Structure 1
Amino acid sequence: MVGVEIPSVDFFARYGNVYNIDSKFLVAYDRNFNYISTPRTNFLGTTLFSDEVQRFFNFNDIQNKYYQNVFDGRLFGGYAIYDFGTGERLNTGYSVSVDGKSKYFVFIITPTASVYSDIDETLSAERSKFFLLIAGITAAIVILVLFLVKLNSILNEQIKRRTKDLEESNKRLKIANEQLNIHDRMQKEFINIAAHELRTPTQAISGNLELIKMNYVPSIFQTSSSGQIGIRGELERLVKDEDRLHDYSYALVSTYRNAQRLEKLVNDILDTSRIESNRLELHKESFNLNEKIQNVIKDIHNKPNLSPHHDNSSTPIDIIFELQEDPITVSADKVRIFEVLSNLINNALKFSNGKPITISAKRFQKNEIGSIKSNHNNELIDTENTREDKDEKMVVVVSVRDRGKGIDSDILPRLFTKFTTKSDQGTGLGLYIAKSIIVAHGGNIWAENNKDGKGATFYFTVPLTK
């Protein structure tokens, strides 16, 4: 390539020149080690190992050894790093073969600063990529952690909600179980009470009839014609003997009284069943409540089995009806109101200790009921419907007051619940039924011990006819 033109300006613009420490350039030699291409044109045709060239490169041993190894074919490629006074360079050389023989040698000289800069840029780029990767991974981890925290929070909330629901369910189950136990206990109590209440009048009826059969009118139990004829003679003999006639009359009255007791027990059981199944029916009509109270009092006085005497005393207990307003017209079920009045008055008679019973009925506005209660005793037993509507609806308040020993504090809070009684007789259903009837009419019922410590007073309200 001797005589070939020096590389163009564009070439050196690309590769720079040997004088610029920051530039890269290319040098070529022939097989005699003469320059055939170099940015330093005064070296063209001159051998690398001439004094002129060596002085320029300061007789650099590293450079000379590397060039010699490439020229001799001991190295193909490789590199050498050296500084001949103008800055450190990286030299890489290759032989160019023609017909299998090395004809030319090409060397690329690159400033190490440029290499280091490229390395730094590469490292910086890789470092940036690495940091971006780390940042991405970190961000992903943060997002994952936040997601896990959120998921954990959601799961905790769900667990808390499920736990709360489970606790509520357990509470409801516990309450239901307690209610079932209470119901079971009440059923057993009712069965025991009902069995006792059924057995007592049944035995009395059976005993009285057996006594009549054996001692007084045995023929009455015979179905034959001879038995019918014998009845007249036995009755004639019975009438002539006053003592036997008295005992016979007592047996009949006792039988009647116990039969009524059985009837009341059966009716109470039926009413309780209707109330429990929400089948209590009312047949309302307008009537004067004062007349109904007076009819109940008359009925009690006229019944031999419920004669208003205390401890079988011959002295009747006074039942005083304080007539304050007349008429007092209500729209209600006559039979059911009669039943409530009878129950309350008979209870008062039972615990009156022979002292008078006082009954009253008076009109009030519905929103005045609360003040009526507060003006009496604080220990009031009320029904579930004790709403004090602030309207102008009128009601009648009926009170039944006795002068007995009062209501036992043990049963005062549950006075109107089923099977509540301190008496040796009765099922404890009467006040429960009375409450249910009054509530069904839209009224209230409650009770209190009298302030003077003598007896108790029961109250109930019924809406007046508009």
Structure 2
Amino acid sequence: VSDADHFYLEIFAVILSTIVAFYCITRAYTLNEKFSLFVGIGFSTIAVIDLLHAVFSYLYVGNNQFLSYFIPQTWFAGRTFLGAMLVIAVAKYASKVEKQDKQQIEGEERHNDNINIPQAEHREEKLHGSLLLSLTVLAFLAISVVAMSFFTIFPGIVLPYSLARPYENPSLILFSIALFLFYKKRLYDTNDAFYKGILGALIIDVFGQIVMSFSSVNFHTAHNVAHILKDSGYFIIILSLAVSSIQYNKIANQREATIRLQYNKLKEMDKMKDEFINVAAHELRTPIQPIIGLSEILRSRIRNTTSGNGTNAENQEYVDVILRNGQRLGKLVEDVLDVTKIESQSLELRKEHFDLNDLIISIIDDIVAAEADSMVYGLPARRKDKNHVKINYRPHQLLVYADKNRLAQVISNLLNNALKFTSEGYVAVTTEKKIDRNSNKNGTIAIVNICDSGSGVDPEIMPRLFTKFSSKSFSGTGLGLYICKNIIEAHGGKIWAENNKDGKGATFSFTLPIDN
């Protein structure tokens, strides 16, 4: 092999090491793996050293004195750097590769709910610091050995003995240490082909250094065989990276298929759940209606019957319990049906033009009538001062285009919630009409505010107040506000809540677009 052939062998090594570096760095970025990152950065440096070795060997081909020490010393520099890099990579960054790869490749997933995030962040920072230190050491080593290659460090660097280049032993020792650590940590057990490629390259590098140590003349058999072995080691790593990439793509496709299958199963189960709830709710509603209706008739008859022994009063109390719980169960069934419609996107709105003021007054009247025995409310032009809570509302005409029944459901729910959590004080309802500055159309909107002086909203619940089952109360399902939110949003409006600034009570508000 001539000096030109040696140049091509080294250029081929530069190309191969560059491919290894690119592949490893890409792999590190994809898998967030420090081992691949370290190896990739190391091989990028190796590519530079090999390029330097090839170019200067070719440029000074006639300068035998310079080449007599430059070629052996740059070979020594590259091999020493590669050996040191692999020792550090295997020793520091491959300690947990086996467990990680088995979980990734075999699909074994373990979830730990007790992760201490601050400690994990501390370990990550420590790992980054360790990586930076290792790279700094390698950079210093690379610069040092390359710089020394340009000077006659060892005048008689090639000896006239069978072991012509004993200074190859440090590199041989480094490769052997890396190979020992590789076996000690049982990295050959990993199912990732990349680590098997590293193992193969280490074995080849050990033999390559042994062969090179017997090279007494540049470009002769031992010298050239060592170069071919070096290129072969690089090529094996590239093949292993390609196989590893295929493995991970296959695993990713399998996991994607599994996720898709599980998603379809969950979707089907969710559909079956909705259908079951829908059927169950309809079946429950059928017997509830006569229970409520007959209880009301029975209560009316008991009230119209006089008795001096108190039996009627006791019977009326029992009937009231039946009626109250029947109504509560009926409300729950209706809520469940509404949630089913919302989640199946089958909630229909029957819009019409009406005066929002009339709707609010009628709802207040209904609440007053229903709660007259336990509470007294102050109303415009109608005041019954028997109670500790008043509903204040100043009516004014406000025409809207919306589903009247659904809006009544929202306002009734918000009013009942306000009264439920207000033991004394007031519940104030206000409405206003204004231009929506946040909208691109600058349309007119109606704003309804329901403010109370009750206990307010628990700050812990506030972020998820309008989600399902957000209530902490045993007397509520947490579905009402979720339904309200979806009804208002179906109208193109918004709903929100906030605790009052004086620390007493909360204010629930919603907006509705007004059809001019």
> What TM-score results when the alignment is normalised by the length of structure 1?
0.49
Q: Which has the higher strand share?
A: 1
| Bigger radius of gyration | 1
> What TM-score results when the alignment is normalised by the length of structure 2?
0.45
